[in-house]
Amino acid sequence: MKYIKIILLIVLIVSITEKGNAQSGITNSLHNFSSASWNQWGSNGLGGTSATSTSGRIGGQICAPCHAPHVYTSNVSPGSSVIGPMTSAPSNAPLWSHQLSAVTSYSTYSGYNMDSTALAQAAGGPVGTSKLCLSCHDGTVSMNYYRTFSASTSGIKPILMSAINGGASNLGTDLRNDHPISFVYDQGLSQRTNNGVYDPTSHASGIILGGSATNGTIQSDLLEGGTLLQCTSCHDPHNGAGAPHMLVKSNTASALCLTCHNK
């Protein structure tokens, strides 16, 4: 009996410790949509929002709201065999299946003492992979607007970011209170006088993936195409590092900020 109690105690301690340690991988993140009520390919099937047939669909999927193995043209009827690239997806989008935001007038960070404004934040707002994030996080496109479904598909209730978790992850379209994104961060920027950022071509990123250091630089590990600072400079939508808030590395003692900022 005593031994059983001890074993049970050990099991309890181990399970508590495991919960205490953040686990990597999308399955252990808020991006695991497999049981989200709005996920038409999730374990809830149609989430009780539609009478549309689920026939042939494989439920419990995590990736479906963002990627599809064959990307369907947006906003076509369920069951339609129309397959093609998403009309407005960036050309480099990875098999992107979520409807993009139509917003073109984001208010972008104008800067306190930014040098990079001289290098121009993209006109018209964010570009590249940040647009993929904003397809949910700017709060204008419903979560369940992907693959062959849309808010306008009969019976599907649109669910916006504002309706999830009190809107905690809704950045909105005013990005002036968010870290600047979609601008060039190069060696030239690091050599300007005001900014105090490291040379991205030589400074180590300190990124650890799968338990091993990548030994890469800020440029190779954190900048899209080796040039642009994007949402993905700080976040990995697949939670590869297992850091809180799906950060690319832990920000304990501001370690993420100090990766680029020489402060």
Instruction: List residues binding ligand HEC (CB under 6 A).
Output: 26, 30-31, 62-63, 65-67, 94, 98, 111-116, 129-130, 132-137, 143, 164-165, 168-169, 171, 179-181, 185, 189, 194-195, 197, 218, 222, 229, 231-235, 237-238, 245-247, 251, 256-257, 259-261
In contact, 238 and 23? CB cutoff 8 Å: no
CB of 93 to ligand HEC, least distance (A): 7
CB of 81 to ligand HEC, least distance (A): 24
Residue type, 132: L
CB nearer ligand HEC, residue 67 or residue 147: 67
CB of 2 to ligand HEC, least distance (A): 41
CB nearer ligand HEC, residue 124 or residue 179: 179
CB nearer ligand HEC, residue 147 or residue 235: 235
CB nearer ligand HEC, residue 7 or residue 191: 191
Which stretches of 55-136 are assigned E, i.e. beta strand?
A: none
Return the exposure string of 242-260: e unless at least 16 CB atoms fall within 10 Å of the residue's CB, then b: bbeebbbbbbeeeebeebb
CB of 14 to ligand HEC, least distance (A): 24
In contact, 68 and 95? CB cutoff 8 Å: yes
Neighbours of 118 (CB within 10 A): 9
In contact, 126 and 106? CB cutoff 8 Å: yes
CB of 49 to ligand HEC, least distance (A): 16
- What's 62's DSSP letter? S
As a whole number of angstroms, the distance between CA 53 and CA 45 comes to 10
In contact, 58 and 41? CB cutoff 8 Å: yes
